């Protein structure tokens, strides 16, 4: 049985498409880059933003950090709340907590933003802790986030811990830390992306995820 469940935030618990893509669009515009199509910015959901700015727009470190600064200008006030809890998530968390399972958020999003989002949507009560990245750019890779979350738990059999996420970074980070991982197909990672990284389980819907976690 999995007694401890780590959840990614963006694309797993909530759908942040509007807030993230509009904030990326805002940051690009401040740098003189016109990107009218929000769907072209969906790939920014999940991975560390600094890396995404570098890879998608061939930015050097200085320019990517400036883009991140502009992104946060909008996101911290507006984009944070342009978000929605996936249908069925709240009910799932309630059932898992009632079963006595320990729930933790492990995300590459800065902890300060993650906490605000969970509080805004009334989800914070379900989680023992929220582990994210730091605003100074440290602990941003998913493997580092998971490693820190596990370190806070102390000595626990890792066979009893599982990660749930929607991108390859969640799968790779979990495997690098020796824990099982569920890749969920209702988020922003393609089936090809997820299967290529070899998750322990691939689950299609929130309902199926809820049933699996309650019974395993």
Residue 159 is given by DSSP the state: G
List, in order, residues 6 or more apart from 162 with CB less than 8 Å away. Answer: 2, 4, 5, 6, 174, 179, 180, 181, 182, 200, 213
Judge contact between 118 and 105, C-beta under 8 A: yes
Helices (H), ranges, the chain: 17-30, 49-57, 61-75, 89-98, 111-120, 142-153, 168-176, 191-196, 206-215
List, in order, residues 6 or more apart from 93 with CB less than 8 Å away. Answer: 103, 123, 126
**Annotation says 8 is catalytic:** yes
Judge contact between 74 and 191, C-beta under 8 A: no
- Of 8, 10, 166, 180, which one is the catalytic site residue? 8
Which residues participate in catalysis according to the annotation?
8
């Amino acid at each position: 049985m999995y007694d401890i469940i780590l959840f990614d935030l963006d694309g797993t618990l909530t759908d942040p498409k509007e807030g993230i893509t509009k904030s990326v669009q805002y940051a690009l515009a401040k740098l003189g880059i016109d990107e009218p199509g929000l769907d072209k910015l969906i790939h920014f959901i999940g991975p560390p933003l600094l890396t995404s700015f570098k890879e998608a727009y061939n930015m050097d470190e200085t320019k990517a950090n400036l883009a991140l600064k502009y992104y946060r200008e909008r996101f911290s006030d507006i984009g944070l709340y342009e978000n929605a809890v996936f249908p069925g998530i709240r009910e799932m968390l309630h059932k898992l907590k009632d079963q006595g399972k320990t729930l933790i958020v492990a995300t590459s999003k800065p902890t300060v933003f993650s906490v605000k989002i969970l509080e805004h949507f009334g989800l914070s009560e379900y989680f023992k802790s929220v582990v994210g990245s730091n605003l100074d750019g440290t602990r941003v890779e998913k493997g580092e986030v998971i490693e820190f979350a596990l370190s806070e738990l102390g000595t626990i059999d890792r066979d009893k811990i599982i990660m749930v996420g929607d991108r390859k970074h969640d799968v790779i980070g979990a495997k690098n830390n020796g824990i099982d991982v569920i890749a969920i197909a209702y988020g922003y990672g393609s089936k090809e992306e997820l299967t290529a990284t070899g998750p322990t389980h691939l689950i299609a819907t929130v309902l199926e995820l809820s049933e699996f976690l309650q019974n395993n």
